[in-house]
Chains A and B, each alone.
Chain A
Amino acid sequence: MTASDRGTASGMSESTASAMVGASGVATPAGVAPDRFFKYWLIVPAIFLLLLVGLFPLIYSLVVSFQSLTMLEMDYSFAGFTNYIALFKDARLWESLLHTVIITAIALPIELVVGLLMAQLFLERLPGRQIFVSLLVLPTIISPIVAGATWRLLFDNRYGPINQIVGWFAGEPMPLLWTISPYLVYPAILLCEIWQWTPFMFLILLAALSNVDKSLTEAAEIDGAGYWRTFFKIVLPSIWPVMAIAILIRGLDLARIFDIIYALTAGGPGTMTETASIYAYVQGFQQFETSYTAAMAFLIIALLTALVTWAIRRMGLAK
């Protein structure tokens, strides 16, 4: 079998095979067969790099999760499932997961609905539309830790404008402790989170709505379909694939939420607003429980993987 035979046998024409060899820049001496695995060798460095930076840390942290390593005691011995068993007894972890779920369950629908309403509003050709869209998107380009710190200042009891504004409406000074009071911390966090990330939903949904086939909505209108019927039967199915991706992205972001809450309340009062990410940070980088944190990370990965798989199926994204 000659070189050209191999190229043809693998589904390539002679000209394609020789062009590829030529394109590879490797001169094939007369009578010497080109390396059929050459193309694989070309991608080996990239795959190796990906494995090194992606897979190796994952495997290494899996190994660490079965040890008893802390920053202070380097105990490399096999600890079995000790850390994983401890996770199930750790009430603070489950509370932190519950806090994450609460924040996600409230923030995500609000961001979606408000984002959709805003997108619907800006679908019309309004004067200054582009400027307003640019301004509305500004919060998303701010680092979440900066957004959290800024809102902390806004919520400050003495110098923050929010209490001042509330005071104007109330007719008397309102020393509300937004980041301390158990009744106000969640509203404060949600306000900041929704302020920052609703524009993300808005932008994506605006792009999706702009691409809805107008002939369909016009035909529905001619056929006498009302606004809501058109929206649910034509517009929503048209934008659903994009909307589902946006929900998935924001849902995952919310599941990992850290910066805004850390800057606003640091998980307090007590551990009342501590999310899974904050608790993992506390265990790993303040308490130096390296192996326990690795086990916690794997538990969270497993939960999120199951959730994402379910969501992808449910939203029909895997079709």
Chain B
Amino acid sequence: MRLINTVAWVGAVAGLAMSWASAATAESAAEIAVKEAQKYKGQTITIVWEAGLQALDPLNFSGPKWEELTGIKVKVIEVATEEMFTKIMQDYRAGAGAYDALNVIPAWMPDLAAAGALEPLDSYVDKYGYRDELQKIAPTYRDNQMKVGDKIFGFPDDGDVFVMYYRKDIFGDPKLQAEFKAKAGRDLTVPKTWKEFDEVGQFLTDKLAPQTYGAAFFRQPPYTMFMFEERFRNEGGKFFDADSMKATINSDVGVNVLTDMRNENKFMPPGVEQFGFVENLAAFLQGTSAMTISWPPYGRWAAGYGTDQEVLSWVPKSTIAGKVGYALPPGGHPELAAGFALSVASTSKNKDAAYLFIQWLNSEDISMQRVQLPYALRDPFRDSHFTSAEYQAKWPDAKEYLAALGEGAKTGLLDLSLLQTDKYEEVLRQAISKLWAGDDPKAILDTAAGEWDAITEKIGVDKQKAVYQGWAAKSGAYPQ
């Protein structure tokens, strides 16, 4: 018996030691990518990247580093966001094979995959041992922005989520708190519903304008389209009737959302209808608005992080650093607006080298460095990014900032993603444009619903229905 016990103990200790040794010597996905990519030394891979700040990542950081580690040159093709889909499709249709790796907005994936422009990545993931690290991407992105059907076509690489930014000093002002309580009968808190938002926004404008307005949003149609998609679903709206595939955006919910959006402009800065990304950023950073909703870079720049970089000299100097709070937008389910995934072009002549580059970029080690680049626009998307001690120490409130982003990643809502999504989105953009011009919200949405139905019929109701049902079944399609 003693012998058996001794043997069992020795076996257990040996097993533990082996597993420890194995863990200690296991290569990370980044290391595997570098080692395997060295076989392709001397080659050049071409990657499509959004023009502007986004492209500084491969131009200044990841591209040169990859070349240093592997001997593979990275040629970056900068393309404006609105032209990326067209360029990718044109290259695919021409069979030119000009691009090896791609940045794709996840909502485009069904179209690009159906056309055959994207390389399925499953076999590469297994071949180069990436499956474990892939699982550590935050679930919303991993489960919703990676596959079409059951095949992997891209690695989620950008945690683009809408966050509400608010002025802590204003919400903490005792005088305002008292006045709000006297007026509304409740504490002045960061709004959790759109009704509360309207109440607080109007109150702050009444008290502080024209120095500071209750809120400001970007209102240009391409941005507001995302805000409508988010708010419409938070209020209980559905885009389609799942059985008939008839558009239901012209429901009462849709009409109320559009009506409220237009009414809210009244307590926002004059001319807010013209605000785009930069105008809204300027208003918030200069202290003209007490609340806003936008992508994660707003939070970093409001804190002053990275704005000393020359490439960010266009960002207005923040007058509110240290005064900014972070929360989920009203409704609690923020839009995962746009974002990027990394894919391999099916026409690439260097598929393995291209794949290894995107695995390396997307890996735990390298992505952790990329999301902290002060000038680039990649936002945290892995569980480890949200809890990184290094990132949390970047500015005094960085921990709360990352917590808000992490929370948004859990509850976020996906952009609508169907066949020919942009046609549906174009209708929404037109609708928003008409809204600011003063058209009747009900009439706008009735027209939009009719146009959506026409698009669906042209594509094929059954065909689109199958894609919609697949999308609607995803965890981030509608609030759970």
Interface residues, chain A, CB within 8 Å of chain B? 71-72, 74, 156-158, 173, 175, 177, 179-182, 268-272, 282, 285-288
Interface residues of B, Cβ cutoff 8 Å to A: 82, 86, 89-90, 93, 111, 114-115, 221, 269-271, 273-274, 279, 419-420, 422-423, 426, 430, 433-434, 436-439
Please give, as numbers and ranges, the residues of chain A lying within 8 Å of B111 by CB-CB distance.
72
Given A268-B430, A287-B426: 13 more A-B contacts, CB < 8 Å:
A71-B86, A156-B274, A180-B274, A180-B436, A182-B438, A270-B433, A270-B434, A270-B439, A271-B430, A285-B86, A287-B422, A287-B423, A288-B420
Question: Looking at A158, A179, A270, A282, which has the most chain B CB atoms within 10 Å of its CB?
Answer: A270
Do residues A71 and B436 form an inter-chain contact, with CB atoms below 8 A? no
- Tell me whether B89 and A177 are in contact (CB under 8 A): no
Q: Which residue of A lies closest to B272 (CB)?
A: A157
Q: Given the interface contacts A71-B89, A74-B93, does A180 sit within 8 Å of B273 by beta carbon?
A: yes
Contact check, B420 vs A180: say whether CB atoms are below 8 A apart. Answer: no
Query: Which of B114, B273, B279 has the most CB atoms of chain A within a 10 A radius of its CB?
Result: B273
Q: A173: nearest residue on chain B (CB-CB)? A: B270
The 7 listed contacts between A and B (C-beta, < 8 Å) are: A177-B273, A177-B436, A182-B437, A268-B437, A285-B86, A287-B423, A288-B86
Q: How far is the CB of B390 from chain A (nearest CB, A)?
A: 38
Q: How far is the CB of B163 from chain A (nearest CB, A)?
A: 24
Indicate if the CB atoms of A157 and B437 lie closer than 8 Å: no
A282 to B111, CA, bound (A): 18
Q: Is the CB of B433 within 8 A of A71?
A: no
Among B279, B422, B437, point to the contact of A270 (Cβ < 8 A): B437
Q: Interface centre among B82, B111, B433, by most A CB within 10 Å?
A: B433
Which residue, B93, B423, B430, has most C-beta atoms of chain A within 10 A? Answer: B430
Q: Cβ of A175: which chain B residues have Cβ within 8 Å of it?
A: 270-271
Q: How far is the CA of A115 from the CA of B47 in the complex (A)?
A: 50
CB contacts (< 8 Å) of A177 on chain B: these are 271, 273-274, 436
By beta carbon, the residue of chain B nearest A272 is B437
Complexed CA–CA distance, A37 and B420 (Å):
55
Chain B min CB distance to A109 (Å): 27
Contact A286 B436 (CB under 8 A): no
Say yes or no: A288 contacts B89, CB within 8 Å. yes
Of chain B, the residue at the smallest CB distance from A71 is B89
Looking at the assembled complex, report how far the CB atom of B218 sits from the nearest CB atom of chain A, in whole angstroms. Answer: 14
Do A268 and B221 touch (CB < 8 A)?
A: yes
Q: Which residues of B are found within 8 Å of A158, using beta-carbon distances?
A: 269, 271, 274, 279
- B273 contact set on A, CB distance < 8 A: 177, 180
User: Taking the nearest CB of chain A, how far is it from the CB of B468, in angstroms?
Assistant: 17
In the complex, what residues of A have CB within 8 A of residue B90's CB? Answer: 71
